[in-house]
Structure 1
């Protein structure tokens, strides 16, 4: 039990607690677009004239940050290639939004040109956030037949690759074909193994035999797989020009 004398010691002369009930005061400042740069930071209490100015500031900060990162990579790795694409038409000449970025280090490219076969694979994932896009990694094969990352890009899609290099031999990753099949028909282990057997068959007669076994197991999957050009996923149909029988481009495989 606390006495009145002890209670009075807990109060100040004006009868209020010594602890400031309002808390620490926050210093305020006004946003200045001219100060925007790679080292710019938003501060607690910063004032904006409108919500639109605040959104534009965030967009510009993202662009400046990516520009700074790509610039640092290019300065510390002379000869490297960096590309940043923004769109100024949607928001006006003085406002930009991020579209795509590309980064490839010089030493990596030199290693590819001097030690690797002329093979490239694309491994990536869809960016399922608010802004979408695809994160891709261009992959080669080193002399030990291991993965050799070449470049990192953020793009809208892959159609441009097929259009720009129409005469190159394009292949499909069997793992991705299987995942698409699994979403549509289910993915029992035996179906996966049968599809892989079709892809790994090294001569035409063996491929036909494996396809017939798949048809007996599931005619719908056989029909669906047959609609894909075998030259893009079956070893028995690969050309001899590329000197490669790789059927998967993913770092994570079966």
Structure 2
């Protein structure tokens, strides 16, 4: 019975099928020879073949024909040319192994010569036929995966090598598709195919829904919207493909598509020196710094950091902006990882004004000191006597500002302080009380706000004063800066504005 057959018995089955086809071709050649001899004898006797002679030849050919093998000659035989090909025409209806007409055991496959129909990859759901050819095993496996996922079938690959691939159904049915390499032309041909499923639609988890399939299926969607969210991709898989995939599969699929589009980024890094030369040529007076390092076993020049500040941005900040700068760092989320450092100012209308940026490997005290020093040189800041710097509470950045711009007013972002404060003291009233304290206009007003805040919890005032109040309260800010902001929202907004790019 079919259920009792071992998977590796397929080779014997294929050999038996080939022998049947070879025997059928031999009988065809014998029939053609007998028919030609009968025609020649009739022409010799009467000048034309007789009806009785041709009928006798046809009867003999019918008796010698193999009743188990359907033989159809090629279309070229209609033109009078001899053709012994056992393949049916490409437009012949049906080419899969149908057992319904098999008069033998249900467990045996009917051997039928098949057409060399090329697989059509443009169809939404792949359709297979016996004898269908594929360019490679990879194309065959991709087509089977698409078929299984779109039809909700759980298939398992039980044989997978360079010469043959076989899939069977995990469910309680006899579905099988087997393809192997063709010795003559090297194509990959479907040799065994039983398409009927006796199982229902599987669950929403399909092991064939890997990141490679998701990347290929949603490639156009990802290319048109490179900033697509991972959760959006998961939702598309659930609604359109009816499969549940985890976050890592969608993340890897998106990364694979974007990496393919970006090309070889190693070659792009080699072109950075040319990029710097073009920037300096097209923007005279700009500061473009590219540093490399050779601290590696190969002693090659690896990218270290890149700083850019255009001349127009320098002059714009010096002439038309307030003397306040917000500095912040954010992650680069593409194929090439790293940190983007930004310096953002405020113009006369309190609008965002980008000044300079740098791509570095990490946010360290050394890197921040280098960034602040270059910024000091470009904007002629001196020791920062008439300047205010707004940043988060990163220790490396705080030390860099204290060392380079010792006379500058360093403000800590009140929003970062509130996030730390909110971990212990939650609630809308406490949130309002904190922001009233941060925006107090003078010191006596701050004392009143702290007194009101003390009513909302024992020890709440002591906790809020653990952060130096002169760094985050408006009452301690200088008035000559002409800007009373207590947060670093401009730099945070700039990082969010360039999110798709980074």
What is the TM-score with the length of structure 1 in the denominator? Answer: 0.69
**Paired position in structure 1 for 2:403:** 163
Matching of residues 17-166 of structure 1 within 5 Å: 20-21=135-136, 61=267, 63-89=269-295, 91-92=296-297, 94-126=299-331, 134-155=339-360, 156-157=363-364, 158=397, 159-166=399-406
CA distance in 2, matches of 1:195, 1:218: 13
Aligned-residue offset at 1:207: 0.4
Going from structure 1 to structure 2, the CA distance change for 1:64 and 1:178 (only over 3 Å counts) comes to farther
2:72 is matched with 5
Counterparts of 1:72 and 1:220, CA distance in 2: 59
| Superposition deviation, residue 150 in structure 1 | 0.6
Question: Greater CA radius of gyration, 1 or 2?
Answer: 2
**Matched residues in 2 for 1:81 and 1:236: separation?**
37
Give the secondary-structure state (helix, strand or coil) at the position aligned to 2:291. strand
Q: Aligned pair 1:199/2:420, yes or no?
A: no
- How far apart are the structure 2 equivalents of 1:209 and 1:81? 48
Determine if the alignment matches structure 1 residue 224 to structure 2 residue 224.
Answer: no
Task: State the shift of 1:138 in Å.
Answer: 0.8
The answer to whether residue 414 in structure 2 is matched with residue 174 in structure 1 is yes
Q: Is the 8 A contact 2:291 2:306 kept in 1?
A: yes
| Cα 1:129–1:230 shift into 2, 3 Å | farther
* Whole-angstrom distance in 2 between the partners of 1:219 and 1:79: 58
The structure with higher relative contact order (CA 8 Å, sep 6+) is 1
Offset of residue 66 of structure 1: 4.5
Q: 1:152 to 1:22 in 2, by over 3 A?
A: same
SS at match of 2:478: coil
* Matched length: 215
Counterparts of 2:136 and 2:269, CA distance in 1 = 41
User: Aligned Cα RMSD in Å?
Assistant: 3.5
SS across alignment from 2:330:
strand
SS state of the match for residue 455, structure 2? helix
CA distance in 2, matches of 1:211, 1:113: 38
Structure 1 spans left out of the alignment, 5+ residues: 26-57
Structure 1 residues 214 and 149: alpha-carbon distance in aligned structure 2, compared to 1, 3 A threshold: same
Question: Is the CA contact 1:172–1:232 (under 8 Å) kept in the aligned structure 2?
Answer: yes
Whether the aligned pair in 2 keeps the contact of 1:60 and 1:97 (CA below 8 Å) is no
Matched, 1:212 2:455: no
Partner of 1:95, secondary structure, is: coil
Q: Give the gaps of 5 or more residues in structure 2.
A: 1-68, 74-85, 89-114, 118-130, 140-185, 187-263, 365-396, 494-502
Residue-by-residue CA offset, 1:128-157 (whole Å, 9 max, x unaligned): 899975422211111112221111123423
- Structure 1 contact 195–214 (Cα < 8 Å) conserved: yes
